A and B are shown apart, each in its own frame.
Chain A
Amino acid sequence: MKNNNKLLVVSDLTKVFIIGGRFLGVKLVAVNRESFDMEEEKPEIFTIAGESGCGKTTLARMILGIIEPTSGKIFYKGKDITKIQSKEDRLDFMREVQPIFQNPFETFNPLKRVESYLIETAINFGAVKNRSEAFDRIEEVLQLVGLSIKEVEKRYPHELSGGQLQRVSIARALITNPSLLVADEPVSMVDASIKMSVVNLFKDLKEKYGVSVIYITHDLATAYYISDRIAIMYRGNIVELGPVEKVMLNPLHPYTKLLIEAVPEPDPDLKWKEEIKLSAMEAKEFAKLGCKFSERCLEAKERCHEITPEKIFVDDRWVMCHKYK
């Protein structure tokens, strides 16, 4: 495989969870042999969206090295991260790839003042040599997110608002000059105004500082607004992947269509009309033969229930559906 010039290569990645006991338990394939990659030279915002429980967080945690894949490989700048052995190499990797989580309150230690936590992070990562350098670095990253040390000084996490704290957690992630941010639902708990300030920040980081972002979200309007490419997941698989305009304005996969149609409009004149059908037993769907969406798909044919569809390249994007064969 050619991994040159790739920032990230995810190859045939699988994660299996056993739920309900080791012997009687059922296998749940949370991520099913998935692959995608990101270019090193061309920073981008890559969105992963899809059904609740389809495996987005699991995928992100494997990329961050928090959980181990069951099989498959992840290369970061050509290095297989599942094979990192030495502490030094691990620290190197952690400097380059930084997480941002959904709940900023969980990122911080509630008993530590925000600025001392930031200083420690800077020192622990070896991003700076001493406290005074740390101070400068922190002022720098806080400025990037539109804050300053003055505003967070002597404050505990609960004394900042959710939006401020989420910005601080992005600042924390920037201390080490990372090339890739992995943001798992960074704006799902905040209101529209904070949401826009966070996603505008991602845009700036990409455009001005060349940082790439994996943006996991249920908020498709912000996904459209900031991303270059988008991957739509359903039950462990990426069912459609391509440029955001293509996928969102002209979706091909029946699940993508359903998802885009369900996006609520913030306009009382454009309310939903028809009822929507949801699946009842998720675990069963994960284990289903054939296309996992076939029970709910209005366009399902016989083969859909038996044969797993392959990924096909149509109109600039990959689609995993028999219809396009």
Chain B
Amino acid sequence: MAEIKIKNVAKNFASYQALNDINLTVSDQEFMVLLGASGCGKTTLLRIIAGLETATQGEVWINDRRVDHLPPKDRGIAMVFQNYAVFPHLTVFENIAFGLRMHNHPSAEITKRVHRTAELMHIERLLKRYSGELSGGQRQRVAVARALAMEPDVILMDEPLSNLDALLRLEMRAELKGVLAESKTTAIYVTHDQVEAMSLADRISVMNQGRIVQASDPVDIYRNPAEKFVAGFIGNPPMNFLVADKRPDGRWTVGGQPYDGPSCAENTLDFAIRPEDVVLAETGIKAKVNVVEPLGAHLLVTCDVNGAQFRATLDSDANIGRGDTIALQPQLDRIRWFNPSNGMRQSLEKNDV
């Protein structure tokens, strides 16, 4: 049982506020991904949980125990560093054994655990080597094995795959997911790569400028972004936004078409729809095609709607060329609305999400 609670954590570097009132609960055995652009504070938050950085304010709880005053070694955590930090002067075996030796495990137990985790990470044959004799991918495996060997309550990972080439990253991603699910460890995983986040996470916390803007499961984050920032950040290509003007009858005009929307005081809203949630139709939002990119499975069409850029992924059989004017019909239940003044999502009904 290892639940992590982060309460009102803030961090200032001199006058720069890197983290701002972070609240987050990670449940036992959950795989939580911190996702955000570079510089948004992911590493800082992870290091505060690890105890490598001291929060300016707030509390960190692991297993119903307040740990923010404890040194890293007493927090029951293990960590995989972005640059792996595999000790160069120790063999792979001794690297994996390092934490166990520090915690005075009997040597028979150490040997057993090292071999077990090495086997799990497919590095049994490298045990006698030094880090200088390993490839990036192998070093990464050693770093994970070293963490897993501790059988920690919590495993923290800071962009562990970002230094690998694309193919290896894909392979390690799947492997990591399997191994961690097996180990029943609570995991916090930092990444700026949304595909990685989507594929690994039980839950994603999207961060922006030192804040957590939304924490939810991947599909919910994708379908129901809590803020315009999330909608524009998640998805490749991201969500489209169009200006919606309120009509006298309470409906909304988007690209010349009327749509049902929220009933609220605002006179303009941001209408949002994902590129794959529109279809070609006889009537609909008028769009002038600027670029057509055939991607095999579908066409990625970049158009102009009243001066705003709008992307649609359409069936690859569609016969569309640059300069055409097309009509796009959004799938009604996939339309989302955002308040342009604060970027928050505008719910349809007062008691809706």
**B partners with A:** no
